[in-house]
Amino acid sequence: MNIAVVVRQVPDLIEPLEIDSSGATLDLSSASFIVNESDDHALEQAILVKEAGGATVSVVALDFGDVDNTLYTAAAKGADRIIKLSLDGEPPSPRAAAALYAAALKPLNPDLVLVGVQAHDELDGGLSPFLAAALGLPYVGVICGVRRGAEPGTVTVCKEFPGAVMAQLNVKLPVVLGIVGAEQPPRYVPVAKIRAAMKSAQFEEQVAVAPGATPPLSICRLEPPASGSHAEMLSGSEDEVAARIAEILAQKGLRK
């Protein structure tokens, strides 16, 4: 089975996000980046399918942020091919990114494309369905488990529905799956293996190009979320805040 995984870089929320002087974009010069969490699960799921019975795992990523570390870690986890797409300018919105990823994925002719179902910087919709559309493949989202199907050319997937309802679906390949969680948490790889990958892993570097231009997203203004009227923002010294929390808990009957 030929599996392709898309991994994205997203701003790391340990740093405060800042809006630049235009008021319409984030100031990414002071941001640091980490791998998108559900993409990390998508990679783990791909490696699990590979380990369960042989597959080739190709990882595709746009080149910005801390992407090299993410890709070396992917290689250390067991990814077979690493494709890094160089980028001219700022990271694109999900619709524009879908076109770039699709152009890089098509020549790989994947049976299964796994991508995280969400990212915290998706401004104009989720990448995963856009990607399926750009590839002309069917899409199933909110997946939390993928196994080789009983029939050749199929996979059995576990899909989450609201109300904690889980469904098991048999899906024909090729397909794009939006992963919400792998069957197990993304594995820890010791740093020695990542260091070994830094010496041995080869990236296939390509320029990110897409046929036809995606109409750019027009952002009027970005603002930090305002405090709502129903939230009480606690301020003051530690003791004052603690006393107020104790009072609230007592009011709610959670503490005598």
Partner 1 sequence: MATVEAPRGAELLKQLGKAGDGKPPLGCMQCGMCAASCPLGHAMEFPPRKLILQAASGHLDKVLTSPSLWMCVACYLCSKRCPRGIELTDGVWPALRDAAMQQGFQPPAELQETFQNVFKYGNILGRSPRQRMDWAKDLDVRVLDLSKERRPVDVLWLVGCYPSYYPRNQLVARAFARLLTQLGVTWGVLGVQERAIGECDRMFGEEGLFETLVEANRKVLDKQDFRKLVVLDPHAFHALKKYYPRFGAWYAVQHYTTFLADRLEQLKPLIAKPVEAVVTYHDNCCLGRRSGCYDPPRSLLELVPGVKLVEMSRTRDNALCCGGGGGGMWLDAHIVAQGGQRLSDRRVAQAAETGADILAVSCPYELARFEDAAKVAGLEGRLKVRDIIEILAECMDLGERTTL
Kindly list the residues in this chain that would bind partner 1 in the complex (CB under 8 A).
14-15, 32, 34, 51, 78, 185, 187-188, 190-195
DSSP structure string for 30-77: G--EEE-HHHHHHHHHHHHHHHTT--EEEEEEES-TTHHHHHHHHHHH
Shortest gap between Cβ of 254 and partner 1 (angstroms)? 20
CB nearer to partner 1: pick between 147 and 173: 147
Instruction: Write the DSSP symbol of residue 170.
Output: E
Shortest gap between Cβ of 92 and partner 1 (angstroms)? 25
Whether residue 227 contacts residue 109, with contact meaning beta carbons closer than 8 Å, is answered with no
CB nearer to partner 1: pick between 44 and 122: 44
* Phi and psi torsions of 116, nearest 5°: -60, 145
Q: Which of 51, 111, 76, 93 is nearest to 191 (CA)?
A: 76
Shortest gap between Cβ of 67 and partner 1 (angstroms)? 14
C-alpha–C-alpha distance, residues 107 and 118, integer Å = 25
CB nearer to partner 1: pick between 54 and 152: 54
Shortest gap between Cβ of 174 and partner 1 (angstroms)? 26
CB nearer to partner 1: pick between 137 and 194: 194
The distance from CA 215 to its chain's CA centroid, rounded to whole angstroms, is: 23
Q: Radius of gyration over alpha carbons of the chain, in Å?
A: 21
Instruction: Write the DSSP symbol of residue 138.
Output: -
Shortest gap between Cβ of 88 and partner 1 (angstroms)? 27
CB nearer to partner 1: pick between 195 and 255: 195
